[in-house]
Structures are given as C-alpha cells and as structure tokens.
Amino acid sequence: MHDFKVKLEESGSTEFFAFSQKLNRVFTSTDKTITFSMVMNPHTPLLIRIMLVCSNVIFQPLSRCSYHSRGDSTTFRDHVVTHKDSMAKYFGTADGVYFRERLAILVPIEETGQKSISLEFKCLSSCYKIKKVSTALIFTLEDEISGNILGRQVLNVHVSKNFKRDMELAEKAASVKRRLSGEFESEAAGPSSSKRTIVDLSELKFLLPQEVVREFLEGTQQFIKAKLYNAEDDGLKGSLTTCLEKVNVMIDNFASNSVESGEHDYCKRKV
C-alpha cells in the first residue's frame, strides 16, 4: 500500500562508504556522511524511525561507548547514529529495551512522499558496547497518529577505520565459508540426497544447577530468535520455528514447575 523503499545515494560512495553486493552490507567509518533516499505513498501523516540494532542479538540495546561520547555535551551523546536534518528528532534512552524506548531518529515525512537524510556513525563496530555483534540499520515507516507500523527496510552495516579492507576480507571469508559449507552438506547428504542436512542433537545432555537453567534456556531462545530474524530460506525458517516452539515450552514448564532438587536434568531434547 505504501510501497516503502530505502536506497543509498551513490555520490561519494568510494570516499565515505562501500556497499558489498555479496554480503548485502554497507561498510563505512566514523564521521562519514551517508545519505539515504526514502520513498513511499503518503496516504496519512507518516514518520520514519531509524534505529541501529544488533542483528544477531536483537534485544540488546546499542549506545555510544564512553570513549566516543567523551567530551560530548549534546543531548544526543548516547546515540551511535546521528543525523543532519533540521526536522528529524532524537528519541529514546541508552538502556531502552522495548522498541519505542530505544535510541532512534524520528523523521517526519512531507506530503511529497520523498525524503533524503544524511547519517553519521559515532562508534566503530569494534567498540566495547558493540564488539562481537552484527549491526543493522532498521528504517520503520509508521503512522504518525496511530503509531502503526506500515513498512520496514533493513540494511546491514559495519563501521571500521579501514572499511574498504574490511569489506574485502569479509567477502573472502564469506566465500570460503560458503564453499566449506557446501562441501560439508554434500558429503553429509550423500550423492542421492538434495535435502537440507539436519544434525540430530537429541542425545545431547546437560546437568545444570537450577539457578542457571532459566538463563541457559533464555539464551538459547534469544539465539534462535536472532537466527530466525535473519533467515531467508523457508526450510531453515521452519526448522528454527520448531526449535523455538520447543524451547518456549521448556521455559514455560520450568517456570510453572517447582524444582526441589539442586540440579535440573536438561536432556533428550532435540534442538
């Protein structure tokens, strides 16, 4: 209905950023201006929420590290992503967990249904608050009055000092990983099978202290949700959904049952 689209403006790309078609990811550095063009059909008053998230740990809030926020006395010193638009506003808190509490940029949309906004990143992907997680920019189209979500676009991003070199290394690593994965699946499936290889973990057993069981299960739940969030293959989505349902049941059972012993036997569960 709203035909919401977001694209990178190519001008200045070699100096300020590089886009990897293989990885579907933009590589850039701090304080480099990247401009995005956004197009939609404006049937109602609209706004766009721009938010940096952990794409592999989707419930982890992101904020600027102490090094890169040092000496910054602005009201948006916690924001990793900053804007250059007089109409846009900063929103959210550094410890916000829920969607509308998180650090974000809110951009009102004019009646033309077109908008360009320039963004800059203030932290590197190696900063301690972001390190070891994959990051993505989420552009969410919302009804300004009701708050209903009308569209969403996601762009994976990596911020580093030498972003061109890092893109080359990441593409090479991805190529090697795909090749090795293909060889493994081919050997595991055998010459006459074209089905997805499923690893049976039903015999995997854990004996865990009661006080860490819930944390273990919730960590597994978060991991599967993150993988499901990024999954594109329907078969993989189905397998992950089944796993998630089983983990959810286990969490519910653990919460509702009174465990008297000091250990909880987490066994014979296929994940």
Cβ 118 vs Cβ 33: under 8 Å? yes
* Lowest-confidence pick of 57-66, 123-132, 190-199: 190-199
d(CA 96, CA 180): 39
Q: Give the list of residues 6+ apart from residue 90 with CB closer than 8 angstroms, or none.
A: 75, 76, 79, 83, 103, 104, 105, 106
Domain coordinates in residue numbering, the chain: 5-162, 191-266
d(CA 145, CA 128): 37
Residue that is written with structure tokens 């015999």 in the block: 203
Task: Please tell me what DSSP assigns to residue 161.
Answer: T
Q: What is the mean pLDDT of residues 164-180?
A: 84
Parallel, antiparallel or unpaired: strands 135-143 and 149-159: antiparallel
Per-residue pLDDT at 232: 76
Q: At residue 189, does pLDDT exceed 60?
A: no
Parallel, antiparallel or unpaired: strands 46-54 and 135-143: antiparallel
Assessment of whether the complete model's pTM goes beyond 0.75: no
What is the H or E stretch that residue 35 is in? strand 34-39
Give binding residues as ranges: 65, 68, 123, 127
Parallel, antiparallel or unpaired: strands 34-39 and 89-91: unpaired
Q: What percent of the chain shows pLDDT beyond 90?
A: 34
d(CA 16, CA 30): 9
Q: Please provide the size of the chain in residues.
A: 271
Task: Indicate the fold that domain 5-162 takes in CATH.
Answer: Immunoglobulin-like (2.60.40)
Per-residue pLDDT at 123: 93
Give binding residues for Zn(2+) as ranges: 65, 68, 123, 127
What is the H or E stretch that residue 108 is in? strand 104-108
d(CA 211, CA 209): 6
Which pair of structure tokens corresponds to residue 143? Answer: 């009804």
Listed residue (266, 228, 231, 257) closest to 244, CA to CA: 228
pLDDT band at 253 (very low <50, low <70, confident <90, very high): confident
Which pair of structure tokens corresponds to residue 13? Answer: 């790309």
Q: What is the mean pLDDT of residues 135-161?
A: 91
**Residue pLDDT, tens place only, 66-122:** 999 998 999 999 999 999 888 899 999 998 888 889 999 999 987 778 889 999 999
d(CA 56, CA 228): 9
d(CA 157, CA 53): 10
